[in-house]
């Protein structure tokens, strides 16, 4: 049974993620080692014996995980293939400092202990965190998550917006679940391509425009859906 963790973002969105399994993390680690091995072989054949080749091989060995996690939003190639990623447990964006802290103690977690320390801590930790995760405040999570926007979160998020001029009073007759779905969709861009995300927004906008009996769907779907949520809060709170 998958173990989950809830992360509350700055926008008061509650994201429920599955913690990455030990097996998935092990496969990701082995995949990264294989990729590093291939890179070293290629560099050895092409630039072996040169100073540049030596520096590049050193970078592959030492900076591989830090570089990929810092510039690929918590994903090394192995993590990308296995569908897992590093995230902060407080909902903040993963930063260079977080990646650095995970990287700087990686020798303790893996190299000097042959991975036993990382395995011991991950198995004994509620959030499956190795030493680097504990220091950085991160966890390795599955990319699959569940949005759980609650109506009280919407009220808190929009409590200062009492000055809105309502254009669609008929919104008061729309069910709360539809508004929550809209808000979830607006914040579901993570892990989706822009094309898929925009398509989801367009579907929501067309549906709401139909319920409001508008002659056509506004062209700026994101702004339209945000306004719908704002007006609904004003009309129903």
Element (H, E) at 98: helix 96-104
Q: Beta 14-19 vs 4-8: how paired, if at all? A: antiparallel
Range with top average pLDDT, 14-28, 67-81, 185-199, 213-227: 67-81
Q: Cα separation of 129 and 109, whole Å?
A: 11
- Return the pLDDT at 191: 54
Domain boundaries, the chain: 4-145, 152-236
The answer to whether residue 177 scores a pLDDT higher than 60 is: yes
- Return the pLDDT at 163: 62
pLDDT tens profile 23-64 = 999 999 999 999 999 999 999 999 878 899 899 999 999 999
Write phi, then psi, for 76 (nearest 5 degrees).
-90, 170
Three-state SS for 34-91 is HHHHHHHHHHHHHHCCCHHHHHHHHHHHHHHHHHHHHHCCCCCHHHHHHCEEEEECCC
- Return the pLDDT at 7: 72
- Check: CB of residue 84 under 8 Å from CB of residue 24: yes
For helices 176-186 and 194-211, give the axis angle rounded to 10 degrees.
Answer: 160
Confidence class of residue 110 from pLDDT cuts 50, 70 and 90? very high
- Return the pLDDT at 9: 60
Closest of 123, 139, 130 to residue 90, by C-alpha: 139
- Check: CB of residue 109 under 8 Å from CB of residue 117: yes
More confident residue, 209 or 157: 209
């Amino acid at each position: 049974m998958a173990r989950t963790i809830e992360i509350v973002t700055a926008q008061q969105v509650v994201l429920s993620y599955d913690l990455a399994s030990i097996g998935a993390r092990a496969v990701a680690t082995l995949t990264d080692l294989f990729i590093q091995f291939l890179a070293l072989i290629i560099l050895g054949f092409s630039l072996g014996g040169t100073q540049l080749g030596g520096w590049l091989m050193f970078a592959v060995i030492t900076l591989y995980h830090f570089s990929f996690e810092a510039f690929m939003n918590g994903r090394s190639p192995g993590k990308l293939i296995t569908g897992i990623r590093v995230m902060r447990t407080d909902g903040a964006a993963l930063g260079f400092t977080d990646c650095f802290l995970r990287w700087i103690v990686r020798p303790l977690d893996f190299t000097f202990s042959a991975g036993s320390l990382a395995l011991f801590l991950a198995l004994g930790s509620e959030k499956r965190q190795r030493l680097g995760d504990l220091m950085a405040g991160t966890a390795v999570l599955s990319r699959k998550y569940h949005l759980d926007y609650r109506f009280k979160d919407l009220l808190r998020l929009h409590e200062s917006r009492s000055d809105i001029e309502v254009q669609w009073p008929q919104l008061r007759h729309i069910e709360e679940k539809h508004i929550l779905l809209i808000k979830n969709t607006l914040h579901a861009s993570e892990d989706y391509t822009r094309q898929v995300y925009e398509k989801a927004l367009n579907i929501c906008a067309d549906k709401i425009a139909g319920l409001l009996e508008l002659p056509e769907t506004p062209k700026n779907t994101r702004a339209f859906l945000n306004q719908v949520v704002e007006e609904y809060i004003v009309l129903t709170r």
